[in-house]
Amino acid sequence: MTDFIISSESIMDLSPTYVNQLGVSIINSNYELNGKIFQDDFGQSLDMETFYKNMENGSSPSTSAINTEEYLEYFRKLLKKGYDIIHVCLSSGLSVQYTCLVQAVEILKEEFPDRTIHPVDSKMASAGVGLLVVKLVELKQVGKSYEEICKWVDDNYLRVISYTSNENLEYLARGGRISKASANIGNLLRICPLIEMDDTGHMEVTAKIRTKKKLVTTLLKRMEKNAIGQRDYNDYVFITHASNIEFANEIKNAVEESFPNTKGKVKISNFGPTIGTHIGPGAISLFYWGNKRLA
């Protein structure tokens, strides 16, 4: 039986130690900051504290999608070793990466007719991609076959739910998610927009909330309504932050109090530079397994 690999991208925004423990294969994207090119490699080339301090001081980093040639080079090394691959990609609603991924897969079908790559458009970003990857690793560890995991991921990837917010609306305005005028008013009124990922992998503002305290309450209420098992939810919860560890810990404590079975399963990590560039310092996201997006 052919062995297979679970593969993804550095935009999954988990800690490098955790990624190593998972044993997944990773392709890194690149970004530019102050005229220098860095790898998005879980903060190992440039630590995230320094990255966000640069943004707060006025730097405007830029990101680039993984292109077809980069995917070809990455996959060829794995295919030559005899592996089949399940690759989980950043949402096609946020980047052209998935298009490049599919182009590479089609080319490699001719080069490696006996090997298979199953591309997964996660319709998700950051640790939401990581949450999906962790589940695939778990399925592989309990002996599920390549075909079984491919079917499972195609049937369940939209069950990864995300809630994102940033009290500083400047970066959301830069990315076109909200207007500059709305950002100015929101900042003045201390508005925390609640942003969710829809089934097409696009970000949608679903609520405008006054104060962080009310934001936490809203997150818990929505999670209680939609989480698999509701208050008995017992799977992982991932929280990512952009230079906002205190608020991340506050949310972690609130989740563990409201969902007792999650104790020990709530993990905090940094937004990496690819996602952090577009969401900005201060941002926070929560990811969990739910029944329906935008519920």
Residue 268 confidence (pLDDT): 98
- H helix or E strand, kind and range, residue 214: helix 212-226
Roughly how many angstroms between the first and final C-alpha of the chain, as a whole number?
Answer: 41
For residues 287 and 51, what is the distance between their CA atoms, to the nearest angstrom? 23
Q: What are phi and psi of 290, to 5 degrees?
A: -130, 180
282-to-53, 165, 184, 276 alpha-carbon distances in Å: 11, 9, 16, 9
Task: Assess if residue 294 is contained within a domain.
Answer: no
Contact in structure between 122 and 115 (CB atoms under 8 Å): no
pLDDT the model gives residue 97: 97
Residues 115 and 202 in one domain: no
% of the chain residues with pLDDT over 90? 86
Are 222 and 128 within one domain? Answer: no
pLDDT at 199: 98
Of 22 and 169, more confident: 22
Q: Is the pLDDT of residue 200 over 60?
A: yes
Task: Tell me, yes or no, whether 84 and 165 share the same domain.
Answer: no
Is 165 found in the same domain as 122?
no
63 and 144, same domain (yes or no): yes
Residue ending a domain, choose from 141, 158, 175: 158
In a domain, 241, yes or no: yes
295 part of a folded domain: no
Of 240, 230, 232, nearest in space to 290 by CA: 230
132 in the same domain as 25: yes
Residue 181 in this model has a pLDDT that exceeds 70? no
Task: Average the pLDDT over 168-184 and give the result.
Answer: 63
- Whether residues 126 and 201 share a domain: the answer is no
Clarify whether residues 198 and 154 are in a common domain: no
- At which of 109, 134, 158 does a domain end? 158
For 48-65, write each residue's pLDDT tens digit: 999 999 999 999 999 999
- CATH code of the domain covering residue 214: 3.30.1180.10
Q: How confident is the model at residue 167 (pLDDT cuts 50, 70, 90)?
A: confident
pLDDT given for residue 161 in this prediction: 98
Alpha carbon of residue 245 to chain centroid: 17
The domain total for the chain is: 2
pLDDT tens for residues 232-267?
Answer: 999 999 999 999 999 999 999 999 999 999 999 999
| Length of the chain in terms of residues written | 295
pLDDT at 188 over 70: no
Q: Are residues 8 and 153 in the same domain?
A: yes
Whether residues 204 and 89 fall in one domain: no
- 154: domain CATH number is 3.40.50.10170
Q: In this predicted structure, what is the pLDDT of residue 184? A: 55
Q: Which of 143, 158, 173 is the last residue of a domain?
A: 158
User: Do 180 and 141 have their domain in common?
Assistant: no
Range of the domain at 244: 159-289
Asked if 194 and 152 sit in the same domain, the reply is: no
